Amino acid sequence: MGRRVLVVDDHSDTVDALVALLELEGHEVRSAVTAEHALALAEQFEPHVVVLDIGLPNMDGYELAAHLRFKVEPSCVFIAATGSGALSDVLRSKKAGFTAHLTKPINIPELLALLVPDDLVTDHSPR
């Protein structure tokens, strides 16, 4: 069961690669290379997940996430995708409400695991 994923990154090669990968995995994907385009898309697309570059020009990913939260369902998952992986960056994204902080180059299995709906995750831990 695919999810609706909005990918936002100002590097078109990154966007194209993520869109192709996520579509191959069965997700419905839309993309934006600017904050303004992301805001316009979010309202009509109603994503389940937003994969968001933090280092966007004009409006950083933290500010964009704050604006997007008014346009998406409260259950929408926000994933930070950034070149900055210092502990302070991870803590800032967590404080800003991101579910995960992925450092570029993105670990694809980690990203795909984040896209599995909670109701489909099975706990395989020992009892």
At position 16, the amino acid (one-letter code) is D
What pLDDT, on a 0 to 100 scale, did the predictor assign at position 11?
A: 96
Number of alpha carbons in the 13 Å side-chain half-sphere of residue 123:
3
CB 104 within 8 A of CB 52: no
Residue with tokens 């992301």: 38
pLDDT given for residue 118 in this prediction = 66
Q: How confident is the model at residue 54, as a pLDDT?
A: 96
pLDDT tens, residue order, the chain (127 aa): 799 999 999 999 999 999 999 999 999 999 999 999 999 999 999 999 999 999 999 999 999 999 999 999 999 999 999 999 999 999 999 999 999 999 999 999 999 999 997 654 444 434 3
Q: Of 76, 79, 81, 69, nearest to 106 (Cα)?
A: 81
Predicted TM-score of the model (pTM): 0.91
Superfamily of domain 4-113 in CATH is: Response regulator (3.40.50.2300)
Residue for token pair 């990968």: 21
